[in-house]
Each structure stands twice: as C-alpha cells, then as structure tokens.
C-alpha cells in the first residue's frame, strides 16, 4: 500500500487531536505529507438590515478563528520531521471533504470519530458519517 498524501480534517476536538497524532505516526512511517484542513461556517446571512461592512467583519473574524484553530494542529506537527500544510476553507465539512476526495490526490483521510458538532450520530459524528458515505478514498476513523 502506498501512502504519500494524507488529508487530516481538524476541528480541535479530542478525537481530532487523537487523529492528528495517529496521522503524524503514519506520516513518519510512510514519509507522507499531511494536508491539515479546517472547515468553518462563514455565516451566510441574507439579512438586508445588517450593514455590509458588519457582515464582512463577521466573516473576517470567522476566518481568523479558523486560522487560530489550525495553530493547535501546527503545534503537534512542528519540528516532527513530517511535511504538512495548513488550510482553512469555508463550507460544510462533509461536503468539502467529499469534494476533496474526488480530486484523487489523497491516498488516505484520517479523521476523528466525533468532532465539535452538537448534532452527533448514534455511534459516529455527523461529519464522519457523511464522509464515510460519500468519500472516494480510504478513511481511517480514530476514536
């Protein structure tokens, strides 16, 4: 089995941190690159009563918070001898990850069994469940 490029969705939850540690170990073993991705809700409000500059400020704040989230992941990967990249993207995580897998540039997706979502599935988090049903590459789910 060839593993050169790993996609790691990261939301800062305990399960996400566990997945990050597992991804780090696998990346060291296979000399793989890890793409660490954090999805965030940009806040798509269509309220005409809110001034546009306030909406832009809210969106910018959400992007800054998403970037801060990835700093937690970077702390795990910095100086570990593994190539990695960090990316924030606005969008619903299940859709974003499904679309990313269609690119066929990832050999493996490693993700936590649950995230920060309040709407969790019975045994798996809602995002994990969606990814498992729509993804086009192997997925490793870490508790």
What pLDDT is attached to residue 9? 94
The pLDDT mean for the chain works out to 85
The share of the chain scoring above pLDDT 70, in percent, equals: 81
Per-domain boundaries in the chain: 5-142
142 vs 118, higher pLDDT: 142
- Summarised one tens digit per residue, pLDDT across range 108-141 is 999 888 765 543 443 445 666 666 667 778 889 8
- Summarised one tens digit per residue, pLDDT across range 35-54 is 999 998 877 666 667 788 88
84 vs 122, higher pLDDT: 84
Q: Note the pTM of the prediction, 2 decimals.
A: 0.83
Count the Cβ atoms, other than its own, within 10 Å of residue 8.
26
E-assigned strand segments in 43-138: 84-90, 108-112
61 and 36 in contact (C-beta within 8 Å)?
no
Average pLDDT over residues 10-27: 95
The share of the chain scoring above pLDDT 90, in percent, equals: 49
Distance of alpha carbon 109 from alpha carbon 7, whole angstroms: 5
Q: What is the topology classification, in CATH, of domain 5-142?
A: Rossmann fold (3.40.50)
Tell me the two tokens of residue 110: 């490693």
């Amino acid at each position: 089995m060839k593993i050169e490029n790993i996609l790691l969705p990261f939301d800062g939850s305990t399960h996400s941190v566990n997945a990050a540690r597992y991804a780090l170990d696998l990346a060291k073993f296979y000399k793989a690159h890890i793409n660490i991705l954090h999805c965030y809700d940009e806040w798509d409000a269509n309220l005409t009563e809110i001034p546009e500059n306030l909406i832009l400020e809210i969106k910018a704040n959400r992007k800054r918070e998403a970037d801060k989230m990835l700093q937690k992941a970077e702390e795990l990967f910095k100086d570990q001898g593994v190539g990695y990249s960090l990316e924030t993207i606005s969008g619903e995580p299940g859709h974003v990850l499904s679309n990313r897998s269609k690119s066929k540039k990832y050999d493996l997706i490693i993700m936590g069994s649950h995230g920060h979502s309040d709407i969790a599935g019975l045994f798996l988090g809602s995002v994990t469940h969606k990814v498992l049903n729509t993804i086009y590459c192997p997925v490793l789910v870490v508790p």
